[in-house]
Chains A and B, each alone.
Chain A
Amino acid sequence: MKIPDLTELALRNLRESLLRNSLTTVGISVGVASLVAMLSLGIGLQQLASRRLVKSGLFDTIIVSSRRELRGMGREEERNGPIPGESRVLDEPARQEIERLSNVSEANPDIRFVSELRFEDKPHLTTIAALPQSAKSNDAFDGMQGSFFSSDSAAEALLQKSFAEELLGKTPPLGAPEPNVSEVAKPLIGKELVVRYAQRVATVNEGTASPQEEDFVGTSYSVVSREQKLRIVGVSDLDPESMRGPTRAKVFLPLRLAESLHVMQATDLREVSRAASDQPVYSSISVRVKNPAQIQSVEDAIKKMGFTTFSIADASRGLRQFFGVLYAFLGIFGSLALIVASIGIVNTLVMAILERRREIGIMKAIGASDADVQKLFFAEAGAMGVFGGILGVALGWGIGQVINFGTNIWLKSQSLPAEHFWAVPWWLVAFAIGFAFCVSLISGLYPAGRAAKLDPVQALRYE
């Protein structure tokens, strides 16, 4: 029998016992809804975790340094690569070359220095770092008071809350409750801060070489003490550099402004004896990739250029593994209801055989083969599976929306931002319907086999 005829007959038969078949279909849909609900929760949580991690910049960032720097970060490279003295300099042309690599969204120099800051004529010593405008999306600034830098070169500063407390002389004693970030930010935003730093100024050689200067091979510079006034525009509660440990900065400047200051860097003294060009040389560069999945290929490309790289991509692999296990568990629990529902299919179809025994006999008498009868019962089971699957996906999606809505109301009451942690991707819709269809077909195996084997003579005698 052809598939359209089979489908038509199966649907007609399902309509004949509408109530019973509808109840069985609802049973399947509850099973599918449970499966969809469980898996979509797992997917949603993974997406939420991924979004958070991507926003943190931890999983899409590669720290690039010259092999002359950070010895020991890449032990393998240290053993197999060129000796540090012969490796490439991480200068501006190298930065531009890295930025041009495919899948790289930006490559910014890490400018970081320890300096004295004066606030209301009181000195404070801290680490200052430069931030690109793209750091605005970092989740550390989600609950920030004030605003992000107005431009990449504005004379503005962002403070980390603990440093803001220090400026105000309100550092809480250990164990004491933390003050609210808004309380700390209010008296500081708009106020002026003065940063004192050591500026590197290139020296102009005018050909009046002294006997000692005959050995001059590169560039030379002077170090000048400078001051820069900054306006405090924001205070962040979370620490955007929490992963950097003791070197993390507490005050942040716009990147272009920091570059224009030409602050004396720790590497400058050594590079002056090596670098032949007058291009800026960086101790490290932060490279952001477009997609965390491409981090490994970008790292490999940078390594080929002769630099050392560091990322925490391995941690994201671990995360994927964790969510894989979570999916399996949620899937198993979600499938239990579907397995129970499949027993309902067996029951419904066995009942249908008893009721339609004579009909099966008639069909066989007029030429239906065992395979035709078997396929007909399979089609009925499959149709119930597909309908149950579609209904179940809709039900699961609805349950997800309700739970998402309810949870967001609770998050709002806790002054937390709303989150979308429930996701029903298209592949899950297709998988759930396909799974329901397959489970239904498996459930139909026994009844379909039993119907196909009916003796037509006996079946025709049945009243």
Chain B
Amino acid sequence: MELSGAFDNILADLSGGASVLWLALIGILLIIWDAFKNDDAALPWVAALSVVAAVVLEALRLQDTTTTAFFDLMRVNGVASFVSIVILLSTLLSITLSVPYLKGIRHGYGEVYALILFATSGMLMLGTANSLVTVFVGLETMSIALYILTGLVRSDEGAVESALKYFLLGAFSTGFFLYGIALIYGATGTMYFTEMAGGYAARELPVLFWAGVALFLIGFLFKVSAVPFHMWTPDVYQGAPTTLTGYMSTASKAAAFAALILVLFYGIGTLPVAKWQMPLALVALVTVVLGNLLALTQNNVKRMLAYSSVAHAGYVLIALAAGTSEGYAGAIYYLLIYALMNVGAFGVMAFLEWDDKEGRVQMLDSLSGIGWRRPLLGVTMGVFMFSLTGFPPFGGFFGKIAVFAPAVEAGLTWLAIVGVLASALSGYYYLRVLYVFWMRPIESADRAVRERSFPVPRLSAAVLVTCAVLLIVIGFVPFVRDMTQAFFVGATPAGLL
């Protein structure tokens, strides 16, 4: 067997994939550490610092041209670094918020942080993939870790049941997703995104290919909880520990959307025929409308935020349906802003729980006047809610411009109009939260119950304030938006060469 030369690029590969490998390595170290010193208080901070290191590394590579590593299995630098930063940022913020929260619900195990790092490692592989193999492996590593984190509070019926629901539907969708990969592989003869167009042209098996793409998209739409594959979202988001819900709803969505963007931009999108746009536009339409309508009727804040995250997946899909460079750029820009808003919103809710059920049964009304009692939480929640609605000058507004404008340019004006109308509708349920927080009188009767909510440590407060400040300033820093556009405009997909 001839193997010489197989590892000539090993150093470049290792440095290219450094974040993925680094987080996995630290995760393993944490597991060993935890075995010797159970639930050590320093453990989560080691995890957080390792994520900081990865963020710094990826930030240094943002300006470099996007290339590939590990036999073209993954992308590095440029857009891959941007996606990695979004995922890592959401991880970092979630870990910091989780430390006091998980301690409060008495489930601050050391293993949790190792699992978060492993999940993040899988997400990075998924979000920077250039091959169907890395998509599959990254997706599954992420999903399996998330199933476990969902059922973390397993003495509680609700938590285990939501883990079960997540797992069953996830495993079921994996079957379809994999069937899609198999058919695409058969129709193109390759696992690489960038070789799809060439393989497709050489073989001429359109029925096989498009059937494969359809099944493949079903798998993705499930992971990003687009209608009609969203049924798991409210139950899972409601049942999982609150700060981890924030992590799940942002990082895993960013990773899955990034992989979808890469496969569309470098692979399926380079094919001469574009049959995927209209179905995607229709899915986006249904997702936006149904997500917002269902969110209107919710009285539990976590459940409302779950439906709102369905709606936000719809906004990103609107940009993808445009199928242009601007659309992809807008989508990854939106993912960054969405991560800040949603981690923050779930973070605030985590510190306002007093039902001993991870906020599952707590209704919005029980938060009457809480803004006056916990002004920090009230004010930051105000920023997150305004931003989620899309009010200027908050980040959400600029994010929505970034996703709707490409759709208009691509001739999908009707879709953008529906998107705008739906966001106007969403103002009702987001602002209702603020109304209850600030305008309703404090109910003194259950003041004693309220004392049981978690105190906000300084670091967590700093995280919430950071999210809020970033959301206020990000719209005025055109640098970020310009950068995302440069990723896709400058680069020609290799499949077209």
A interacts with B:
no
Q: Which B residues contact A (CB, under 8 angstroms)?
A: none
Query: A interface vs B, CB < 8 Å?
Result: none
